[in-house]
Amino acid sequence: MVRDLRKQSHEEVHCAQYIRPGAELSNRTSNTTNGLPDDELRREQEFIDDLYARVDALRGGTEDSVTDALAQGSTPMQARLERDVLVAERSGLLAALNAVDGSLCFGRIDLADPSDSPPSATSSGATHHIGRIGIRADDTEHTPILIDWRAPVARPFYLATGHTPMGLRRRRHITTEGRTVTALHDEILDLGDQMRTGHEDPTGDAVLLSALNSARTGRMSDIVQTIQAEQDRIIRAPHRGILVVEGGPGTGKTVVALHRAAYLLYEHRELLAKRAVLIVGPNPAFLGYIGEVLPSLGETGVLLATVGELFPGVRATASDTPEAAAVKGRADMADVLAAVVRDRQALPDPVIAIEHDRDILMLDAGLVGVARDRTREARLPHNVAREHFEGHIFNTLTDMVAERIGTDPFDGTNLLDPSDITQIRDDLAENPEVWAAIDRLWPRVTPRRLVADFLAEPDAYLTVADAEAVRRPVTRAWTTSDVPLLDEAAELLGEDDRTTRAAAEQERDRQVAYAQGVLDVSYASRTYEFEDIDAEDAEVLSAHDIIDAERMAERHEEDDHRSAAERAAADRTWAFGHIIVDEAQELSPMAWRLLMRRSPTRSMTLVGDPAQTAEAAGVGSWSEILAPYVEDRWEHTRLAVNYRTPSEIMDVAAAVLRAEHADFEPPSSVRSTGVRPWARRTSDLAGAVEKAVADLTPVEGRLAVIAPRALHGVLAARIDGVVAGESPDLTLGVVLLDPRQAKGLEFDAVLVVEPGAFGTSDLYVALTRATQSLGIVHTTPLPKPLAESF
Ligand SMILES: Nc1ncnc2c1ncn2[C@@H]1O[C@H](COP(=O)(O)OP(=O)(O)OP(=O)(O)O)[C@@H](O)[C@H]1O
């Protein structure tokens, strides 16, 4: 049953009264109240000082234990294994401590006093500080001193309202610069509570608005301090099954998905640390843009990849035309590739003659056809099935030889015994002509060979127009839409891993022998005291007693130092613990096939906005994507508040979509800036762009010029310090992009150039990237809905 959360999330939006379009920004950073020294600030500073003293001690201790462990050098195998586990665990803790340093603690909740005594601002035991990771005191109880934001205890920090205080009387946001507390914002949740701190934030939205108005850095930041209730429910939704999160631009889909990854890693650490979480994004620039969010939350063991990076050993460096990408992404390409593979299982035309033992053996289409049919009946992937095909061909040829040399000329019976038959078979196996025939009839094929050959000569499998769209000479430059084809081909072909298996067997024998040697040494080196103890009474066990050589060798095999994410990146058949797909509306049916193979448990979060679909290969509806895999067993939820785009800009963007879809409902903007977007028509495009860039470039923050690709050369020459290219550095002041590259990104100011050249969804994406101001420069007439907006 599909549970539609839409209704619920709309209700939640209404509950979030503290989100008010047009609210004034408040960003207090005083450390005094009414000119008096501020006890509240001082007390929080003392807490933060103590917290960092504990963190520094933890870090020092962790560094020492890692250094000591690594210095142990060559030790017995068991000790080495334990050392590796310790190093991995401690290194993870160190990475987390280092990543969150400087912004460790950001909030506090004061619980309502259960007793009748009047509440006090600082009653100890009734407050919890909330941070990016959890920290415990160095006492015997390991008392928590900082609560991880993901822990259930921290949840009221995000959900409590005056209406539903969830046991809180106050919520405090703590703003720090490095290790210094610079501001406090308190919300009173227990309206009967008379206690005031001098830091009250009457609207409760100062910290959120400050975050939304802050200058952009070219890197997405976490929102752990200001997660909104509707977002929190998505972040903490159960990890099983498929959850679709839909929402317009700027509704926080990406950032919510990233916090969800961090939450799931916390909640299901054991499972997910082993199986890893995969986050799929639309392009490498986008992955760079979001890449710092998880480390800032203390999580590093996540694999971020585009679909083009999910076939180990292949990097998609070339690009496809939209037509080619659309054909390659179609679901029926799976059948096409299956037909291509079947065509590699050939029949002789008309016969193959094999010279053997001064005789000629003829393999004709009838004989080979029987071998082929029997092999296909096993329904194995092509390369794996080859072993069966070889067997059938050897049987056929052995029968032929046996018949020729062993038949009794008098009564027609066969005079050969089983050892003669084995000998004939062995002789045939020595004959290179037999192997050459098998290679022609059932060749081993790699996925790359198969796909490259198919794309070079697609005519037998596609219509004339489709074949024309995808045709290209054999090359090593792969495109993103080739990767799902390679993955499909790898599934159809399988791996003939006989050689690898044999090598692995040998290696295993070697390791068992080595482990046996270790155990023998450990047995021989038992102390005499042990020998003296009567075996019955002995309580001291040697390694020999508790582990055998097989098990010890197995443990050695497990001794792989790579993280789960690293191993997953190198393994095409890896099954991830959870997969998050951003801009999910862009993926083709073939890309979905690839992703579903990586998620056999179907534990996935898909975020996207169908209104922003640009790829011709993209899928139109969520049920169309998901029905083949889970029918209607998936959940849908919607985010409806736009945290990025001020209402003045969103009105213009919404008009563009409404022109095509009259009932289009844009997300409601949380802010208005009072700054109207503008449009200038010009006959000197480059000159007007140069001037507009000067006008729009923020003092602090970033500007994006979003222009058709064909204009990039001309514009780059005229704009000072601009960067352009496939994956431009988004941390620089001015960036030149086309709408596809701008997808998912945001900037303080945006200049859209020649919007008449964009399709509707590209234009919508371009118009919704700015957090503060938007300008448009054009030589050709504006699209009608835009023209009507100015
Ligand atoms: N609760 C929040 N607190 C502070 N900032 C937030 C919050 N929610 C969202 N934002 C900010 O809003 C902006 C938009 O978020 P995000 O990029 O995740 O939106 P999106 O829905 O993925 O947008 P698009 O579809 O356009 O890519 C980001 O700067 C994000 O940090």
Is residue 373 domain-shared with residue 453, that is, in the same domain?
yes
Tell whether 210 is covered by a domain.
Answer: no
Q: Which residue has its alpha carbon closest to ligand 1 atom 14?
A: 250
Is residue 286 domain-shared with residue 251, that is, in the same domain?
yes
Is residue 171 domain-shared with residue 306, that is, in the same domain?
no
- Residue from 232, 236, 127, 218 nearest 171 by CA: 127
Tell whether 283 is covered by a domain.
Answer: yes
Question: Among 219, 657, 746, 771, which is best to mutate for testing ligand 1, by the most ligand atoms less than 8 A from CB?
Answer: 746
- 541-551 burial, b at 16+ Cβ within 10 Å, e below that, comes to eebeeebebee
Tell whether 211 is covered by a domain.
Answer: no
- Give the distance from CA 66 to its chain's centroid: 29
Annotated binding-site residues read 247-254
Q: Where is the domain boundary, 623, 641, 659?
A: 641
**Beta strands of 261-407 (E only): which ranges?**
277-280, 302-305, 316-318, 351-356, 359-364
- Alpha carbon of 169 to ligand 1 centroid (Å): 29
Question: Ligand 1 atom closest to Cα of 609?
Answer: 25
Task: Give the per-residue pLDDT at 779.
Answer: 96
Is residue 286 domain-shared with residue 369, that is, in the same domain?
no
Question: Among 254, 609, 639, 740, which is best to mutate for testing ligand 1, by the most ligand atoms less than 8 A from CB?
Answer: 254
Helix axes 622-630, 589-597, angle to 10 degrees: 40
Burial group, residue 494, by CB count within 10 angstroms (0-12, 13-18, 19+):
middle
Is residue 683 domain-shared with residue 723, that is, in the same domain?
yes
Tell whether 8 is covered by a domain.
Answer: no
Domain count, the chain: 4
Is residue 46 domain-shared with residue 152, that is, in the same domain?
yes
Task: Give the per-residue pLDDT at 86.
Answer: 62
* ipTM, interface predicted TM-score of the complex: 0.99
Helix axes 322-329, 333-343, angle to 10 degrees: 80
Q: Where is the domain boundary, 436, 463, 493?
A: 493
Question: Among 157, 212, 748, which is best to mutate for testing ligand 1, by the most ligand atoms less than 8 A from CB?
Answer: 212
Tell whether 53 is covered by a domain.
Answer: yes
- Alpha carbon of 221 to ligand 1 centroid (Å): 9
Question: Among 255, 768, 771, which is best to mutate for testing ligand 1, by the most ligand atoms less than 8 A from CB?
Answer: 255
Question: Ligand 1 atom closest to Cα of 228?
Answer: 1
Task: Give the per-residue pLDDT at 6.
Answer: 31
Task: Give the per-residue pLDDT at 495.
Answer: 80
The domain in which residue 732 lies consists of: 647-788
Distances (CA, A) of 339 to 335, 432, 617, 699: 6, 29, 22, 60
Tell whether 65 is covered by a domain.
Answer: yes
Question: Ligand 1 atom closest to Cα of 612?
Answer: 25
Residue 762: which CATH number? 3.40.50.300
| 220 three-class SS | coil
Question: Ligand 1 atom closest to Cα of 225?
Answer: 3
Task: Give the per-residue pLDDT at 521.
Answer: 52
Task: Give the per-residue pLDDT at 414.
Answer: 74
- Alpha carbon of 586 to ligand 1 centroid (Å): 19
- Alpha carbon of 746 to ligand 1 centroid (Å): 9
Is residue 690 domain-shared with residue 734, that is, in the same domain?
yes
Tell whether 578 is covered by a domain.
Answer: yes
Is residue 193 domain-shared with residue 66, that is, in the same domain?
yes
- Alpha carbon of 621 to ligand 1 centroid (Å): 23
pTM for this one?
0.83
Is residue 635 domain-shared with residue 655, that is, in the same domain?
no
Is residue 705 domain-shared with residue 674, that is, in the same domain?
yes
Which residue ranges have their beta carbon within 6 Å of ligand 1?
208, 211-212, 223, 226-228, 231, 247, 249-255, 609, 643-644, 744, 746, 768
Tell whether 764 is covered by a domain.
Answer: yes
Is residue 671 domain-shared with residue 750, that is, in the same domain?
yes
**Per-block mean pLDDT, blocks of 10 residues, the chain (790 long):** 31 27 37 57 94 88 69 61 62 75 89 60 68 90 92 95 90 93 90 74 81 90 94 93 94 96 92 92 92 88 93 91 95 97 95 93 96 96 96 95 82 80 95 97 96 96 97 89 97 78 67 60 42 38 48 53 86 94 94 96 93 68 90 93 96 93 89 94 95 91 95 91 80 92 94 95 95 96 92
Q: Where is the domain boundary, 476, 493, 510?
A: 493
Is residue 172 domain-shared with residue 283, that is, in the same domain?
no
Question: Ligand 1 atom closest to Cα of 247?
Answer: 21
